[in-house]
Amino acid sequence: MSTHIISVIVKNQPGVLAQLSNLFGGPGYNIEKIKAKSYKSSDFTKIKIAATIGEEQLESVLGQVKSLSPVIGVDANVQRRFSFWLVAYCLFITLLGTNLPAPLYAIYRAEWQLTSGMMTLMYALYALVVIPTIITVGQLTKLIGRKKMLLIGVFCSILGSLGFAFSDGVYELLMSRLLQGLSVGILNGVAVDAMTRYHDQQDKVKSAFTAAIAGTFGNALAPLISGYLGEYAPYPMQLSYITHISLAMAGMVGLCFIFDKKSAPDRPFSLQLPTIPNHLREPFTLSASTSFLSWAIMSLMLSVMPAYLNLFVNTSSLSLSGTMVALVLGLSTIHQIILQRQPAFRMVTIGNIFLILGLLGMLITLFTNSLFFLVLTTVFIGLGNGPGYAGSLVFINQAASDEERTGIISSFFVVTYLGISIPVLILGFIGQSVGLVQAIEWFVAIMIGFIVINQFYWMRNKKKE
């Protein structure tokens, strides 16, 4: 049984409320709340009824409501639409909070004399926390319900921003980053499922696509906000986080009005790690390694580039680094949308080509310190990350059966977040020993080699079809 908000427009006639109450009370449905107000004129009233009704009985109840003579209109999807877009907003605002620090890394580095290893750890920590959170959150949601889990996720995002805004040392920054990782893991684990359930037709494709756009748009908008506020507004290390907290609080208030009942679990809770069936190990390895490489390269643009912008173009402009981060994420999203109907092999091949061009552009940028080549590098990596990631996800999603999909996709995201965190973390600590420029050069050479190998295996897989 689920709680539904049913909006009924009726003519003002004696006994209308009694008729509606009898209709819902007769079969044993529970009216949780009822509210009436005038509608357009004194001749009509709009009545909102919050009632607990099973999904299978809802259509029958709506038909009975429509058959009442005073009723001139019925809409049972108002609450669903509100909940759908509210969850999308919460996902957007959570990912926005996670990416706000990107342009400000240069300030943190100068403020507390942080090493390259510590800088990359600060960036990568959230991804390392996301991995166990994604694995466990789906199972925990069955115990406490989607609404409470979403509230916990947004609350962790708020705590993360509070920590960044008022931190006075590196350990507070790391703890704040950990909280951001928890929030991203929770929202990533719950949002798509919640949006699918709240959608009018429970459309899985539209729900997943809307969630992807909401998350990526939040990621792309964040560095613009923090970069420009950090450079041109007062309180550069606080204002963007305070803005995020205000927006996130609005999301938490909205979540309080979502009606959501948790179902009792079929068995006692026990943590179950995702597994890869034997027949899916080859396609999983191919797709997961592609996503790993795509996001390893993207992480360089999201952490090292904004923190050490002066290595690339002899400037430390916060607005410029914020613009570059927004550009690379924005182009990644746009290219995913443009190529979404292409086969997985073609998407990955296009992505690999652009990623290699972007890595070569990065080498040229380091040697020339040219803003032109930095922009070109950013464009190429953005255009490469989008189809590489999306194509690999489409490939494994098509290969997995309905019963296998949840575990397979969870494992796919675990490898993806390892790609976001581990390579750039290693790069940062190696940079402390050999210098960051040389470490980036090694990183570029290794990534190009792995991409070539990855493309070879994609071509071999294509020949098998």
Whose CA is closest to 287, among 348, 211, 359? Answer: 348
Angle at 173 between CA 236 and CA 176, to 5 degrees: 105
Instruction: Examine the fold and report which residue of 44, 76, 108 is the final residue of a domain before the chain moves on.
Output: 76
Q: Where are the beta strands (DSSP E) in 163-222?
A: none
Question: At 34, which CATH number?
Answer: 3.30.70.260
Q: Residue 217 corresponds to which tokens in the numbers above?
A: 């748009």
| pLDDT tier for residue 314 given thresholds of 50, 70 and 90 | confident
Share of the chain above pLDDT 70, in %: 87
Pairwise CA distance, residues 331 & 383, whole Å: 6
Does residue 16 register a pLDDT over 60? yes
Overall residue count recorded for the chain in this entry:
465
Print the domain residue range for 276. Answer: 80-464
Domain match, 72 and 84 both = no
Per-residue pLDDT, averaged over 111-134, amounts to 87
Domain match, 263 and 322 both = yes
Residue 42: phi and psi, rounded to 5, are -70, -10
Domain match, 296 and 147 both = yes
Whose CA is closest to 169, among 112, 239, 100, 95? Answer: 112
Q: What is the pLDDT of residue 277?
A: 83
From residue 40, alpha-carbon distances to 9, 10, 16, 34, 137 in Å are 10, 12, 18, 19, 45
Domain match, 36 and 170 both = no
Instruction: Examine the fold and report which residue of 76, 109, 124 is the final residue of a domain before the chain moves on.
Output: 76
Domain match, 175 and 229 both = yes
Domain match, 139 and 224 both = yes
pLDDT single digits (tens) 343-362: 889 999 999 999 999 999 99
Question: At 147, which CATH number?
Answer: 1.20.1250.20
How many folded domains does the chain comprise?
2
Whose CA is closest to 191, among 237, 225, 157, 226? Answer: 157
From residue 52, alpha-carbon distances to 3, 80, 267 in Å are 4, 14, 25
Domain match, 68 and 117 both = no
Pairwise CA distance, residues 322 & 235, whole Å: 17
Does residue 134 register a pLDDT over 90? no
Given a contact cutoff of 8 angstroms between Cβ atoms, the answer to whether 33 and 79 are in contact is no
Domain match, 291 and 417 both = yes
Domain match, 391 and 317 both = yes
Domain match, 30 and 94 both = no
Does residue 421 register a pLDDT over 70? yes
204-232 and 239-255 helices, crossing angle to 10°? 150
Q: What is the pLDDT of residue 166?
A: 92
Torsion, Cα of 427, 428, 429, 431 (10° steps): 80
Q: Residue 60 corresponds to which tokens in the numbers above?
A: 């029958």
Is 0.85 topped by the overall pTM?
no
Does residue 130 register a pLDDT over 90? no
Does residue 265 register a pLDDT over 60? no
Domain match, 297 and 445 both = yes
Least confident span in 209-213, 322-326, 403-407? 403-407
Whose CA is closest to 384, among 362, 416, 353? Answer: 353
Instruction: Examine the fold and report which residue of 76, 106, 129 is the final residue of a domain before the chain moves on.
Output: 76
| Own/partner long-range contacts of 453-458 (Cβ < 8 Å, ≥24 apart) | 454/286, 454/289, 454/290, 454/293, 454/352, 455/348, 455/349, 455/352, 457/286, 458/286, 458/290, 458/345, 458/348, 458/349, 458/352
Domain match, 210 and 333 both = yes
From residue 92, alpha-carbon distances to 96, 161, 218, 303 in Å are 6, 15, 5, 20
